[in-house]
Chains A and B, each alone.
Chain A
Amino acid sequence: SQTIHQWPATLVQPVGSPLSLECTVEGTSNPNLYWYRQAAGRGLQLLFYSVGIGQISSEVPQNLSASRPQDRQFILSSKKLLLSDSGFYLCAWGQGAQPQHFGDGTRLSIL
């Protein structure tokens, strides 16, 4: 069966520090991969999606970037975090138009 792993679960970082969040998927090949951010009490905002290795599309201009170095690995990064980058970050995978499957998320707090 397919599983998705996301880590770390929580992260506290100072303003201006770098960021790297990792997401890996098992049990499927060539998945579509997604990074979302969820503000407190709100819905999810799509940040990036990827349909293949090295193929990244950004949905909103921001201080973040994403990379897909391997088929089932998706990384969210920042060179310098801002206070506004705080939030709950969720990784998801899907195939075609099928429903997406989410990881358990990373709660990022910027101090």
Chain B
Amino acid sequence: SQQGEEDPQALSIQEGENATMNCSYKTSINNLQWYRQNSGRGLVHLILIRSNEREKHSGRLRVTLDTSKKSSSLLITASRAADTASYFCATDWAQGGYNKLIFGAGTRLAVHP
């Protein structure tokens, strides 16, 4: 079964509002990553949080990780219409010199002007 599960599946907000997406996973991880995908395009890496970190910031993005609950959240503050995309969490089972990412089904975010 899938390692990561995002919640909600879809989120619709107004520009300027904050968007929070959650991700749960099932087994131990090396790190957790969040990616963004614009419609019909490839994925773009947003942020990586290691298993020994609890919170990380990058611009308007804030990611938290709770390994005891096997969950993570992505917060986008002051959202913009350009933030409209699908967001995926991916858990990393790095082994033998490569990283094996297990992706969730994603959250589709729509930000309305």
Q: Nearest-CB distance from A12 to chain B (Å)?
A: 15
Q: If the complex has contacts A42-B105, A43-B88, A43-B105, are A100 and B99 also in contact, measured as CB distance less than 8 A?
A: yes
Q: How many whole Å from A94's CB to the nearest CB in chain B?
A: 6
Count of chain B residues with a beta carbon within 8 Å of a chain A beta carbon: 29
Give the number of chain A interface residues (Cβ < 8 Å): 25
B40 at the interface (CB under 8 A from A): yes
B30 adjacent to A103 (CB under 8 Å): no
B45 touching A46 by the CB < 8 A rule? no
CB <8 Å contact, B98 and A105:
no
Cross-chain contact B103 with A44 (CB below 8 angstroms): yes
Task: Please report the C-alpha to C-alpha distance between residue A96 and residue B26 in the assembled complex, in whole angstroms.
Answer: 23
Q: Contact at B100–A49, with CB atoms within 8 Å?
A: yes
A103 CA to B101 CA, complexed, in Å: 16
Contacts of B94 in A (CB 8 A): 96-97
Known contacts A32-B98, A46-B100, A94-B98; A104 and B41 CB within 8 A of each other: yes
Is there contact, CB below 8 Å, between B100 and A96? no
> Which of these, B48, B98, B102, contacts A96 with CB under 8 Å?
B98
Task: Tell me the nearest residue of chain A to B50, going by C-beta.
Answer: A97
Q: Are B33 and A99 in contact (CB under 8 A)?
A: yes
Q: Which of A30-66 contact B (CB under 8 A)?
A: 32, 41-46, 49, 51
Which residue of the partner chain A has the closest CB to B42?
A102
Bound state CA distance, A44 and B45, in angstroms?
14
Q: Which residues of B contact A101 (CB under 8 A)?
A: 45
- Contact residues of A with B, CB < 8 Å? 6, 32, 41-46, 49, 51, 88, 90, 92, 94, 96-105, 107
CB-CB nearest 9 A-B residue pairs: A102-B42, A43-B103, A99-B45, A97-B94, A32-B98, A44-B103, A102-B43, A43-B105, A104-B42
Can you identify 6 A-B contacts, CB atoms within 8 angstroms?
Answer: A42-B105, A42-B106, A92-B43, A96-B94, A99-B45, A102-B35
